[in-house]
Amino acid sequence: MSFTLFEPQADARPRAIKILIAGGFGAGKTTLVGTASEIRPLRTESGRSAYGRAIDGPIGMDSKESTTVAMDFGRVTLPNNVMLYLYGTPGQRRFWFMWDGLARGAAGAIVLADTRRLPDCFGAIDYFEQRGTPFAVAVNCFDDAPRYGEARVRVALDLDPGVPIIMCDARSRDSVIQVLIAVVEHALRVNGSFV
Amino acid sequence: MNERRRRWFDDAAGPVVRPYAVTRGRTRSGGGPLDLVSIVVGGVPSAADRMWLESEHLRLLARCRRPTTVVDLASDTDLPLGVVRVLLGDLRDRGLATVRAPAPSEYARDETVLRMVLDELHSL
């Protein structure tokens, strides 16, 4: 053979888990990803909407037509070659079809809520409930937003009792790490193995 | 090139070569899509390989001598994910890279890995 293939040792193979960050526009997703992780550029394709195709697409051309969009993407490198990848999902619902590839295999998800715009979370909550992705709701406590207790947020969002709700400050690293811990604990619990 | 024309080609205008020109219009890789956290390990191309390899293939190869995820390669090269998937598919088909599907669900549901993550997060 004309080349050498490096065969990694079993230990050298990185192990990766994915956490999705969802929430309405302006809820603080970009801030949260940046606070928790080493932020990295990532571009992906956004295909045209069905509406756009109907207007200007001859049939058979649509797979070629895409524009690239930047995503919030971050990586937390943990010891033992374990990586935690954080993906911010697009705020606008019309981009959600892009998530399907991203959401596959995700360990868990964070729905970031702003108490001034709680209904913005409904779409993300429905999405994760339908897919069976374990998720936690993190209420980003903006300085000028009304404060509500966990119980009131749970009622307002119609959440199951098992879904964790955490009050957080997306600008604080300690706070965001608590949110990540809550999601991973919840994922273990949902999988039936958390004691 | 006159002044008016030159203004079209500044950084803000983006890459002059459209992303899918690199893949010759292909938007899908052969052999199924690569997961974002598939692990890629690249080899060293021979002189013969270099005849067909595009510079983007070489950039990818240079970054995956050590096991690397698909998503990190996309980020490192600043190429869109879809383009990276197609190019890695080429490298895999020519035997220049191995791609190991991580069975992400394996990790997503793997208690050992999740516990490891939890312990590390607690110690941060």
Question: Along the 124 residues of chain B, how does pLDDT read in single tens digits?
Answer: 455 555 555 555 555 566 677 777 777 666 666 778 888 999 999 999 999 999 999 999 999 999 998 999 999 998 888 889 999 999 999 999 998 876 545 556 678 888 888 999 998 8
A148 versus B21: the higher-pLDDT residue is: A148
How does residue A68 score in pLDDT terms, banded at 50, 70 and 90?
low
Listed as own residue / partner, the contacts of B110-116 with beta carbons closer than 8 Å and 24 or more positions apart are: B111/A188, B111/A191, B111/A193, B113/A15, B113/A17, B113/A82, B114/A17, B114/A107, B114/A184, B114/A187, B114/A188, B114/A191, B115/A188, B116/A78, B116/A80, B116/A82
Neighboring chain A residues of B113 at a CB cutoff of 8 Å: 15, 17, 82
A33: domain CATH number?
Answer: 3.40.50.300
DSSP H helices, B3-110, are 3-6, 19-22, 47-52, 55-63, 70-77, 81-93, 104-108
- Name the range with the highest mean pLDDT among A87-101, A150-164, B9-23: A150-164
B1 domain-assigned: no
Closest to A136 measured CA to CA, from A190, A175, A186: A186
Beta bridge partners of B53: none
Q: What range defines the domain where residue A177 resides?
A: 10-37+77-190
A51 domain-assigned: no
Instruction: Please classify residue B57 by burial: count the beta carbons closer than 10 Å to its beta carbon, then call 0-12 exposed, 13-18 middle and 19+ buried.
Output: buried
Beta-carbon separation of B82 and A44 below 8 A: yes
Q: What is the mean pLDDT of the segment spanning A63-76?
A: 70
pLDDT of res. A9: 46
Closest to B27 measured CA to CA, from A105, A94, A44: A44
For residue B8, what are its two tokens?
């079209």
A38 versus B8: the higher-pLDDT residue is: A38
B7 domain-assigned: no
A69 domain-assigned: no
Instruction: State how far the Cα of A62 lies from the Cα of A158, in Å rounded to an integer.
Output: 39
Instruction: State how far the Cα of A147 lies from the Cα of A167, in Å rounded to an integer.
Output: 10
B9 domain-assigned: no
The single-letter code of the amino acid at B82 is: G
Task: Tell me the ipTM for this assembly.
Answer: 0.75
Ranges of beta strands (E only) in chain A are: 15-23, 38-39, 43-47, 66-70, 73-78, 82-88, 108-113, 135-140, 165-168
Which helix (H) or strand (E) is B69 found in, with range? strand B68-69
How does residue A166 score in pLDDT terms, banded at 50, 70 and 90?
very high
How does residue A54 score in pLDDT terms, banded at 50, 70 and 90?
very low
| Counted domains in chain A | 1
Longest dimension (CA), chain A: 67
Asked if B114 reaches chain A (Cβ–Cβ under 8 Å), the answer is yes
Closest to A53 measured CA to CA, from A64, A43, A45, A44: A64
pLDDT of res. A71: 79
Hey, of A7, A38, A43, A69, which one would you mutate to test binding to chain B, going by the most B CBs within 10 A of its CB?
A43
A97 domain-assigned: yes
| Counted domains in chain B | 1
Residue A150 has pLDDT above 80, yes or no: yes
Closest to B15 measured CA to CA, from B59, B70, B78, B61: B78
pLDDT tens, position by position, A110-137: 999 999 999 988 988 998 998 889 999 9
**For chain A, what is the mean pLDDT?**
79
B4 domain-assigned: no
Q: What range defines the domain where residue B95 resides?
A: 16-123
Which of B43, B107, B121 has the CB atom closest to A15's CB atom? B107
Chain B, 34-93: which have a CB under 8 Å from a chain A CB? 35-37, 39, 41-46, 48-49, 65-69, 71-72, 74-75, 78-82
Look at the alpha carbons of A134, A187, A75, A5 in this order and tell me if their dihedral is positive or negative: negative
B108: domain CATH number?
Answer: 1.10.10
